[in-house]
């Protein structure tokens, strides 16, 4: 079971649209804690030149990955193991972003899925 990645429940801006916006945007205040939705290993932690700004990608095994973008701070490093609920970063407004929010993606075997169907 995946947990919700931040304290805010506000879905702002873009919703999940396959092939267009393969994520949900969760509004909040800059600096709000971002939590690992499930235990896993950090496979990317740094700046992304693809509009994501500061980005963390976690591999949870069994084909599952989660991505957390537009972060104001990154608290983990590549190769690090994290547990569900660990604070991994801070909500921000980096990259191609029009205001503070978390761009949250989930994928199974490389296919993007709607986080609203899996995160509680």
Tell whether 28 is covered by a domain: yes
Q: What is the CATH number of the domain that holds 73?
A: 2.70.70.10
Hey, is 77 helix, strand or coil?
A: coil
Query: Which of 8-12, 14-18, 48-52, 61-65 shows the lowest per-residue confidence on average (mean pLDDT)?
Result: 14-18
Rounded CA-CA distance 2/47 in Å is 25
Per the CB < 8 A criterion, the answer to whether 107 and 113 are in contact is yes
* Structural domain includes residue 10: no
Domain count within the chain = 1
Residue 45 pLDDT grade (very low, low, confident, very high; cuts 50, 70, 90): very high
Q: Does residue 7 lie in a domain region?
A: no
pLDDT for residue 100 is more than 80: yes
Is residue 2 included in any domain, yes or no?
no
Compute the distance between CA of residue 37 and CA of residue 72 in angstroms, rounded to an integer.
Answer: 18
Instruction: Report d(CA 82, CA 112) in Å as an integer.
Output: 22
Give phi and psi for 47, each to the nearest 5. Answer: -80, 140
Residue 53 belongs to domain spanning: 24-109
Looking at the domain assignment, is residue 13 inside a domain?
no
The answer, as to whether pTM is greater than 0.85, is: yes
| DSSP 8-state assignment for residue 17 | B
Question: For residue 5, is it within any domain?
Answer: no
pLDDT band at 38 (very low <50, low <70, confident <90, very high): very high
Write down the pLDDT at residue 13.
Answer: 64
């Amino acid at each position: 079971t995946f947990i919700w990645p931040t304290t805010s429940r506000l879905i702002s801006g873009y919703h999940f649209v396959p092939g267009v916006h393969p994520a949900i945007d969760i509004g909040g205040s800059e600096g709000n804690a971002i939590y690992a939705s499930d235990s896993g290993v950090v496979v990317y932690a740094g700046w992304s030149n693809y509009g994501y700004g500061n980005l963390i990608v976690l591999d949870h095994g069994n084909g599952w990955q989660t991505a957390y973008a537009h972060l104001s701070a990154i608290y983990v490093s590549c190769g690090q193991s994290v547990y569900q609920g660990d604070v991994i970063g801070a909500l921000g407004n980096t990259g191609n972003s029009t205001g503070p929010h978390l761009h949250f993606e989930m994928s199974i075997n490389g296919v993007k899925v709607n986080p609203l169907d899996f995160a509680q």
